[in-house]
Chain A
Amino acid sequence: QKEVEQNSGPLSVPEGAIASLNCTYSDRGSQSFFWYRQYSGKSPELIMSIYSNGDKEDGRFTAQLNKASQYVSLLIRDSQPSDSATYLCAVTGTGFQKLVFGTGTRLLVSP
């Protein structure tokens, strides 16, 4: 079983729709959870972090964490073509020293 799992996609949504990206992790001791966005040919960019159960909102982005189900999600409201990218879920365990990444979900937002 992979430590962090994501559906590779692509997830296709029309402009203005809500994109929902999901991630599950295997280590129950995981403490910090992140969403990175990576455009083709670029390096990952941190867009959201979440540390406790519930929702965290930042602009059009909402991260959701459910530690009991070992599940993290990212909602992107009013999706724009510029949101088309690969979204990487990352998790740290005890000590926070090592980020474990999922393989990413490719999001395509069509005009």
Chain B
Amino acid sequence: KAGVTQTPRYLIKTRGQQVTLSCSPISGHRSVSWYQQTPGQGLQFLFEYFSETQRNKGNFPGRFSGRQFSNSRSEMNVSTLELGDSALYLCASSPGSGEYGYTFGSGTRLTVV
């Protein structure tokens, strides 16, 4: 059974640009969450989607947005990139509501220069 797949693995972008990250959950998983991990802040929750609906959102500016498609695949977009957006972005999936935990993908390492 394939795990959570995130693409691309690495990205280098310039300040002011925008970026889109992709996540394919484990087959059958309908819940997808996104997290930002930095050395200083640890793992911070961005948002969670279930059946194409955003059910929960963290405390990030509106530059961070996401969506989920009917096949449960999800994308995350960051507009007007700032240096502080450099981080590891992790996607995680769960069969339903997450009470049994989430399985993480390998992440996308974003560097903003």
Contact = CB atoms under 8 A, between A and B. Distances in A.
Interface residues of A, number: 24
Contacts of A100: 45
A95 to B, nearest CB: 7
Contacts of B90: 43-44
Contact of B48 (A34, A98, A101): A98
Given A97-B31, A97-B48, A98-B58, A44 B97 contact: no
Interface residues of B, number: 24
A97 B104 contact: no
A80 interface: no
B98 A92 contact: yes
B61 interface: no
A17 interface: no
- Listed from nearest, the 4 A-B pairs whose CB atoms lie closest are A101-B43, A103-B42, A96-B99, A96-B98
Interface of B: 31, 33, 35, 42-43, 45, 48, 50, 55-56, 58, 90, 92, 97-107
